[in-house]
Structure 1
Amino acid sequence: MTIALIYVAIFIAAFVAVRATGRFVERQRDFTSLKTVTFGDESAVRPNRIASIISVLAIFLIWGAFTGSKITPIHAPGPFLGETSFTYTAQAPDLSTDEGVVRVNVHRVGEDAAKPEGADGGEGFAKDDAASVAAWRSGLIRVDRNDVGGDAEGYKVIAIDGQPIAPGETVKLADGTVTMTPKGTLNFSPDPGWQMEKIWLPAPEDVWNRLIEIGTDGYRGFTLWEHVGWSLMRVVAGFALGSAVGIPLGYAMGLSNWFRGWFDPIVEFMRPVPPLALIPLVIIWFGIDETGKIVLLFLAALWIMTIAARAGVSGVNITKIHAAYSLGASKWQILRHVIIPNSLPEIFTGARVAMGVCWGTVVAAELVAAEKGAGQMIVAASKFQLTDIVIMGIVLIGIVGYGIDILMRLAENWLVPWKGRS
């Protein structure tokens, strides 16, 4: 929740700052800037590159601030480290009370730290104690084992730093909390701060170092580029098959009442079914080799491409068809010169969506006994809690997916330059 609020605050501050300075710095001199009415006109909306840069920097700034990164100038409060202490009040079976001191050394995870030095002395039955606890962890402190008569029936701890405590209750301290278990044992948890432990979210430089390591040495017997290459091969194969079947089927449904009536129930039934739900059936029918993975990606792309082609045909301006008929065009000429060119923008939009779905589904497809692939690398790393590899794989998948989308946009601009024109 705190991270979300910080992100919203950065967004608002950046928006106000860019808007305030943009009037004096930026002066557009293109056709869009000459429009008198732009609100609601999609063609007048262009991505603000400054906003894009600030958005990416804000994500990395927040990421580094909450992971203690060395490359960010500011950091969120980290976990408590060092020595701390608290007093406990013990009650003997005869209802007499005495106070002892517990000294705790809080150290970093993975480091060996000795308990603080402290004499187990005192005139009363409550003796001082010491413990060592790792940051973000908790530790049981058995003060009863150190106290005189701590094993006697009726002995119990009744207060921490003067605050009453009972089984199941928690007392807040300056550097952490003390919770009493149902059996009366003290459990000390140092203050975790706002930063996240590496096992949950590593710092950006840790992910980068892991990328360099795997890019150099590979992972599980395959190089990084082999993992990514196999994922791309599966996605391209599944998408190509889905397009090869879906586009002609969509054209047929858009041009023929019979085809539309026959296939419409099937398409509309399968369209909302997520590809993940088909994995068990794909395994039963096609096995766990490459065929099963490609079939799953084929099904992920098939229905999207079918609907995109059908929508493209249905969206062709009827006046163009009438004009072609009036000029003596045949049905084949209308299909070739009118319907196909005017439906291509809708098909390219569907292709971008289908490719994104396939690229996202490849992780699930590679769960099926894959030896290589970006998804398989993520799954294998998650089993050993290698969060840096998991995040590296996720970022890599996002970058490759974004690159694919950019290439498809460029292809659309090159192959369909008439998009948006009537």
Structure 2
Amino acid sequence: MYKKTATEKILSFGTVASILFLWFIVSELGLIDQNLVPTPRAVFAAFVEIMENGYKNFTLVEHLGESMKRLVIAFFLSCVTAVPLGIASGYNSKIRAVFEPVIEFYRPLPPLAYYTLLVLWMGIENDSKISLLYLACFAPAYISCLSAVVKIKEDYINSALTVGASKTQIITHVIFPACLPDIFTGLRTSLGVAYTTLVSAEMVAANSGIGWMVLDASRYLRSDIIFLGIIIMGITGFFLDKAIQLAEHKIVPWKGKE
């Protein structure tokens, strides 16, 4: 995992501080209508209000918990299916020929284009939302694993065959470790795509979740709650990504040290 230098940390902190300062100045001086850009104080007041009284029968923790439950379940399911299938497809062209047309067909489709079908088939509860997030997660992870296997040098595989390694041993001891850096990159991409899709899913046929809260607040011009929801989504997305980076650092300590 890449570690920032002290100078880079200062620059990153300065960027965030500058954005917050600009937001404070612009909103507090009334340079922009506060119905469009609320003040930081208004956003904090909305945070306190929702923490104390909740929003539409759900507390802020419950809204966030519902979103995270949908996201984590879908992300986990995509990990345990897309990674092995992507590796198998990269190793065996026949397996790739079977699955690639389907994945390449649905991958470019906007999630909401087929979400209506999922709602018709599975209802408006979590099943349809988790299925949508799963499909959104699956394609980036699969393609990342597939491309990682394809670019492995054949010398590595031939060397393993020379010493008598079986196909299973080649996959587990040669291909899988070599693909790990790209696998984690794919998982990070999948998580980002899934979080974006999560908001879209909660904006259709839902009554809880951070995405739904933001959409519902927009109907009443509650820009303070909209900003609060966006900030929460950004922070949680940041920490989820950092969690994957931390796992990558522990599992793939050799990355970047070749």
Question: Does structure 1 residue 235 correspond to structure 2 residue 195?
Answer: no
1:286 Cα deviation from its structure 2 partner: 1.6
Aligned match of 2:22 in 49, 59, 62? 62
How do 1:3-18 and structure 2 match up within 5 A?
none
* Superposition TM-score, scaled by structure 2 size: 0.93
* Paired AA for residue 15 in structure 2: S
2:181 corresponds to which residue?
A: 345
Q: Deviation digits for residues 179-235 of structure 1, max 9, x if unmatched?
A: xxxxxxxxxxxxxxxx11111110111101111221222111111111101100000
Question: Does structure 1 residue 416 correspond to structure 2 residue 232?
Answer: no
1:288 Cα deviation from its structure 2 partner: 0.9
Identity fraction in percent = 39
How do 1:111-122 and structure 2 match up within 5 A?
none
SS at match of 1:48: helix
* Paired AA for residue 50 in structure 1: I
SS at match of 1:66: helix
1:421 Cα deviation from its structure 2 partner: 4.3
Aligned match of 1:273 in 109, 119, 126? 109
SS at match of 2:27: coil
* Paired AA for residue 120 in structure 2: I
Instruction: Say whether the 8 Å CA contact 1:235–1:297 is kept in structure 2.
Output: yes
Query: Matched residues in 2 for 1:262 and 1:335: separation?
Result: 20
Q: Which structure 1 segments of 5+ residues have no match?
A: 1-42, 69-74, 79-194
Q: Deviation digits for residues 366-418 of structure 1, max 9, x if unmatched?
A: 12322211111111111111010011000100000001011110000001112
Query: Matched residues in 2 for 1:44 and 1:200: separation?
Result: 37
Q: Which structure 2 segments of 5+ residues have no match?
A: none
1:303 Cα deviation from its structure 2 partner: 0.8
SS at match of 2:204: coil
Aligned match of 1:251 in 74, 84, 87? 87
Query: Matched residues in 2 for 1:421 and 1:323: separation?
Result: 23
* Paired AA for residue 53 in structure 1: F
Query: Matched residues in 1 for 2:219 and 2:255: separation?
Result: 47
How do 1:3-402 and structure 2 match up within 5 A?
48-68=8-28, 75=29, 78=30, 195-402=31-238
Q: Deviation digits for residues 24-77 of structure 1, max 9, x if unmatched?
A: xxxxxxxxxxxxxxxxxxx89867111111100111111111111xxxxxx5xx
Query: Matched residues in 1 for 2:164 and 2:126: separation?
Result: 50
Query: Matched residues in 2 for 1:299 and 1:311: separation?
Result: 19
1:21 corresponds to which residue?
A: none
Judge which range, 299-308 or 316-325, deviates more. 316-325
1:242 Cα deviation from its structure 2 partner: 1.9
Assess, with a 3 A threshold, how the Cα gap between structure 1 residues 421 and 329 changes in structure 2: closer, same or farther. farther
Assess, with a 3 A threshold, how the Cα gap between structure 1 residues 229 and 245 changes in structure 2: closer, same or farther. same
Instruction: Say whether the 8 Å CA contact 1:315–1:343 is kept in structure 2.
Output: no
1:154 corresponds to which residue?
A: none
Assess, with a 3 A threshold, how the Cα gap between structure 1 residues 294 and 44 changes in structure 2: closer, same or farther. closer
Assess, with a 3 A threshold, how the Cα gap between structure 1 residues 227 and 388 changes in structure 2: closer, same or farther. same
Which of the two has greater strand per residue?
1
Q: What RMSD in Å do the two structures reach over aligned CA positions?
A: 1.8
* Paired AA for residue 57 in structure 2: G
Query: Matched residues in 2 for 1:304 and 1:286: separation?
Result: 24
* Superposition TM-score, scaled by structure 1 size: 0.58
Which of the two has greater helix per residue?
2
Query: Matched residues in 2 for 1:287 and 1:317: separation?
Result: 47
* Paired AA for residue 238 in structure 2: Y
SS at match of 2:181: helix
Query: Matched residues in 2 for 1:418 and 1:328: separation?
Result: 26
- Counting matched residue pairs gives 256
Instruction: Say whether the 8 Å CA contact 1:293–1:368 is kept in structure 2.
Output: no
Query: Matched residues in 2 for 1:417 and 1:314: separation?
Result: 22
